Structure 1
Amino acid sequence: MARDQIDTQPIESRDDLVAWLEAGCKSPSKFRVGTEHEKFPFTLNGHDPVPYEGPDGIRALLDGMQALNGWEPIMEGEAIIGLADTIGGGAISLEPGGQFELSGAPLMTIHETCAEVNSHLEQVRAVATPLGFGFLGLGMSPKWSRAQTPVMPKGRYKIMANYMPKVGSLGLDMMFRTCTVQANLDFASEPDMVTKLRVGLALQPIATALFANSPFTEGKPNGFLSFRSEIWRDTDNNRAGMLPFAFEDGMGFERYVDYALDVPMYFIKRGDTYLDVAGSSFRDLLAGRHPAVPGESATVSDWANHLSTIFPEVRLKRYLEMRGADGGPWRNLCALPALWTGIYYDNAALDAAWQLCKGWSAEQRQRLRDEVPRLGFKAEIAGRPVLEVAREMVAIARQGLARRDYRDSQGRDETRFLQPLEESLATGLTPAEELLARYEGPWHHSVDPVFDERAY
């Protein structure tokens, strides 16, 4: 999750909300890609979760990172909860259970975003190893119960944790026990946003299969390939899912604003204080009649923060967030932005991707979304196995990246970042199925080796 916005400019009307989203339109020459990834800290000795406090805790890690990279600390009260790169635009933040997130800067090429990931992981390792902990790239914590998982000192998470059990059975697992890798990409206009949103929503379950990497819970196989994705099916269905309205005639910024206005709020932030308004309506705040802040109108911050508490498979802000992938090994962190950049930032590729999925009905898209967490490449859509569709999707992305033709200092283009996906497609096995085979074989029914084999 991104850090909370601070912009106290008042919002007068629904039109202001629409205009705020529309201001995200950029000329293609200004398109950038941002990569966010989360990872689980674990003790090298015993593979236990890492607490926030203490000489070897997450607070000490943040202090050490700050000394190393000179980023600005993000504080909540007395607690350091993240770091901000005020020059480059990146940030480090904490998820509810201590998952350590890099929100990458908006960069031009996958070469740059991958270099950023690499330097971040090297920095993290330099600080964490002397503290006695490492980091794991998986979509779901493989060993710890919810009770064993630490809680980070962030006000918004306390409000969410109170609210989650009222609206779904798995929301606390989402908060405390999952990790994702996410790519954020730009749009040029309202029609471009709509096309990208539709392609992203339709193909998001295919990306979920390609990155499926969460087959273990509390030390045993959980029956899924992406349990992280399954968790989202019963977290809070008022604010998650496949957004069928996005495929209807008349879709645009206004329609998304109306959807977002109907999603219940979690909190209103005033100064450093989070007011718990879970379940209440943003419309009341917009009209200046919200009981928590009587007489106050909404601000740009309120709107930006509210949009960050909506969790569909593709999220619209002033850019589009691809939210379907499990966290994974180092090289998969670069494969995700490469996949979506190849599709979104080349017009022929975007058109080919739309041709691939435009005939699917809302029911077919939903069934695909429901089946992929368990079946992965063996799920089907419109009579075709997901493995076949995934091969086509990755081939489209490869062609898009080849046409972009951004080269690194060694003359290589961005297509090389798709290699881990192409290897999965060649074997027909998701990353989760490879882990399960190791669990059944050389790991002798223990998940502990995953902490060595999938650590960064």
Structure 2
Amino acid sequence: MTTKTDTGTDTRSPAIESRTQLIETFARGEKPPERWRIGTEHEKFVYRTADPDVSWRAPSYDEPGGIRDLLLALTEFGWSPVEEDGRVIAMSGPDGSVTLEPAGQFELSGAPLETLHQTCAETGRHLAQVKAAGDKLGLGFLGLGMWPDKARSQLPRMPKGRYKIMLDHMPRVGSMGLDMMLRTCTIQVNLDYVSEADMAKKFRVGLALQPLATALFANSPFTEGKPNGMLSYRSHIWSDTDPHRTGMLPFVFEDGFGYERYCDYALDVPMYFVCRDGRYLDAAGLSFRDFLRGELSILPGELPTIEDWTNHLSTAFPEVRLKSFLEMRGADGGPWNRICALPALWVGLLYDQGALDAAWDLVKDWSLDERQTLRDAVPARALDAPLPGGGKLRDIAGEVLDIAHAGLKARARANAAGEDETGFLDPLREVVRSGKTHAERMLDRYHGAWNGDVSRVYEEESF
């Protein structure tokens, strides 16, 4: 299981000659349990520490000490530049890749690792490196799910071809797509499966419990300096980003769901772009099915390649996404220890058969309407969202963490001190024990010690 680094290059893999080749992309991801890995991605906001008088400004790409210089500063730690159209847009190294989101949000797409101990060590190395680089450049890093004080107009744009196409297209299909691209950060976990049936069960558990992950990690209660009425506004944003490529995917719970059905879904997701000769061609709104027939209007007579299909799969944004691995996509960005807690939750639930079975037993009787009602309520209510069958989401949160704990205990992956992986769940245990999400704790401070001053997040929520 790997995370693709978007280089903007065109590798010209062989042309797709049959629909079977598309489906084989998913089948090639099958791995025996001993080869299962954990890939963790986390984003953070970058701001100027040297000029707080202009509200901790988000730096541009080109300015001295800006995002380009931050990328290049990582060469000191063994990272190598990745370019698009002559500009550095990512860094590649032994810990995976460092990439840019549309407004300069800084992301580590971590390497596929065997244990959570390795994942947390990787996170620590990365954050220590960017903090060291930031100290020299006058930059700080904020761990939230959404910019707490920035309007879209205050944010820069990164020089990546795919982002230009997406930024132009987003307002045509939803009211909050630009907010998703420019003003949010997430933590994400990528996990493996052994078979089509294993993938389907993990997909179903992941979708059903994704609202719980959103609630436990809720961390975006402010917009442009004021409370926004939500605990995870980042999650709310996805409700009106692009209905053709987001959501809870009801078909995943239908009998017979597998690679072929997800392939059909992905084929129906409108295209964004095609990459040729290192350049992104605007294909926004066009059909990949037409591409398969050689009828794509911008490339008449040309058939897609596997690389085109892989790129296209990355432009669907459901709550759980299938490539040649499964991506858990529901969590807000947050503090250092939360980065390790998210993979702990999902590895515990999905990488032990007993835990996976127990998690499925917990959610298997939920109806389509109940799952959707839960997902719709979570951005505002988090753990107080209505639970299918009665009660609140908080009523099963401890039970889910117990299942994850049992799954991690069964894995028995110890570090040099003999400690297993269960301790990484502790930050989530504290949320359940206290009954308060990180967002609610910030709102308490906003109405209390902060005296309505959101800028205090820069002192208290930076890495």
TM-score strictly above 0.5: yes
From 228, 244, 254, give the equivalent of 1:248: 254
Per-residue CA distance 1:173-201 (angstroms, 9 max, x = gap)? 00000000000000000000000000000
How far apart, CA to CA, are the structure 2 residues paired with 1:280 and 1:4? 21
How far apart, CA to CA, are the structure 1 residues paired with 2:260 and 2:77? 41
SS at match of 1:36: strand
Structure 1 equivalent of residue 427 of structure 2: 420
Query: Which stretch shows the higher mean deviation, 49-58 or 32-41?
Result: 49-58
Q: Is the 8 A contact 1:215 1:222 kept in 2?
A: yes
Q: Is the 8 A contact 1:8 1:300 kept in 2?
A: yes
Per-residue CA distance 1:428-449 (angstroms, 9 max, x = gap)? 0011000100111111101111
2:14 corresponds to 1:13: no
Structure 1 equivalent of residue 5 of structure 2: 3
Query: Which stretch shows the higher mean deviation, 445-454 or 99-108?
Result: 445-454
How far apart, CA to CA, are the structure 2 residues paired with 1:27 and 1:294? 41
Q: Is the 8 A contact 1:206 1:389 kept in 2?
A: no
Q: Is the 8 A contact 1:52 1:59 kept in 2?
A: yes
Q: Measure how far apart 1:165 and its partner are.
A: 0.5
How far apart, CA to CA, are the structure 2 residues paired with 1:395 and 1:10? 47
Unaligned runs of 5+ in 2: none
- The one-letter code sitting in structure 2 at the alignment partner of 1:178 is T
Number of aligned positions between the proteins: 453
SS at match of 1:82: strand
Structure 2 equivalent of residue 114 of structure 1: 120
From 58, 62, 69, give the equivalent of 2:67: 58
Structure 2 equivalent of residue 447 of structure 1: 454
How far apart, CA to CA, are the structure 1 residues paired with 2:34 and 2:217? 29
SS at match of 1:223: coil
- The one-letter code sitting in structure 2 at the alignment partner of 1:258 is D
How far apart, CA to CA, are the structure 1 residues paired with 2:170 and 2:316? 13
Structure 2 equivalent of residue 223 of structure 1: 229
The percentage of aligned residue pairs carrying the same residue is 56
How far apart, CA to CA, are the structure 2 residues paired with 1:429 and 1:126? 32
2:326 corresponds to 1:320: yes
Q: Measure how far apart 1:7 and its partner are.
A: 5.3
- The one-letter code sitting in structure 1 at the alignment partner of 2:402 is A
Per-residue CA distance 1:96-138 (angstroms, 9 max, x = gap)? 0100000000000000000000000000011111111110000
Q: Measure how far apart 1:256 and its partner are.
A: 0.2
How far apart, CA to CA, are the structure 2 residues paired with 1:7 and 1:342? 39
TM-score for both structures, normalised by structure 1: 0.98
Q: Measure how far apart 1:89 and its partner are.
A: 6.3
2:80 corresponds to 1:72: yes
How far apart, CA to CA, are the structure 2 residues paired with 1:69 and 1:287? 46
- The one-letter code sitting in structure 1 at the alignment partner of 2:57 is D
- The one-letter code sitting in structure 1 at the alignment partner of 2:197 is P
* Alignment map for 1:176-215 (pairs within 5 Å): 176-215=182-221
- The one-letter code sitting in structure 2 at the alignment partner of 1:252 is G
* Alignment map for 1:256-295 (pairs within 5 Å): 256-295=262-301
* Alignment map for 1:97-112 (pairs within 5 Å): 97-112=103-118
- The one-letter code sitting in structure 1 at the alignment partner of 2:77 is N
How far apart, CA to CA, are the structure 2 residues paired with 1:110 and 1:185? 12
Q: Is the 8 A contact 1:286 1:297 kept in 2?
A: yes
TM-score for both structures, normalised by structure 2: 0.96
SS at match of 1:188: coil
How far apart, CA to CA, are the structure 1 residues paired with 2:268 and 2:102? 25
Per-residue CA distance 1:317-339 (angstroms, 9 max, x = gap)? 00000000000000000000000
- The one-letter code sitting in structure 2 at the alignment partner of 1:434 is R
- The one-letter code sitting in structure 1 at the alignment partner of 2:293 is A
How far apart, CA to CA, are the structure 2 residues paired with 1:401 and 1:379? 27
How far apart, CA to CA, are the structure 1 residues paired with 2:101 and 2:158? 7
- The one-letter code sitting in structure 1 at the alignment partner of 2:347 is T
How far apart, CA to CA, are the structure 2 residues paired with 1:35 and 1:322? 10
Q: Is the 8 A contact 1:215 1:436 kept in 2?
A: yes
Unaligned runs of 5+ in 1: none
How far apart, CA to CA, are the structure 2 residues paired with 1:3 and 1:371? 34
From 365, 389, 392, give the equivalent of 1:385: 392
- The one-letter code sitting in structure 2 at the alignment partner of 1:3 is T
Moved over 4 A (4+): none
How far apart, CA to CA, are the structure 1 residues paired with 2:145 and 2:63? 27
Q: Measure how far apart 1:2 and its partner are.
A: 4.7
SS at match of 1:251: coil
Q: Is the 8 A contact 1:2 1:308 kept in 2?
A: no
Q: Measure how far apart 1:69 and its partner are.
A: 2.3
Structure 1 equivalent of residue 172 of structure 2: 166
Q: Is the 8 A contact 2:95 2:122 kept in 1?
A: no
From 414, 417, 436, give the equivalent of 1:410: 417
Q: Is the 8 A contact 2:84 2:160 kept in 1?
A: yes
- The one-letter code sitting in structure 2 at the alignment partner of 1:174 is M
Q: Is the 8 A contact 2:274 2:283 kept in 1?
A: yes
- The one-letter code sitting in structure 2 at the alignment partner of 1:38 is E
How far apart, CA to CA, are the structure 2 residues paired with 1:12 and 1:201? 32
Q: Is the 8 A contact 2:143 2:333 kept in 1?
A: yes
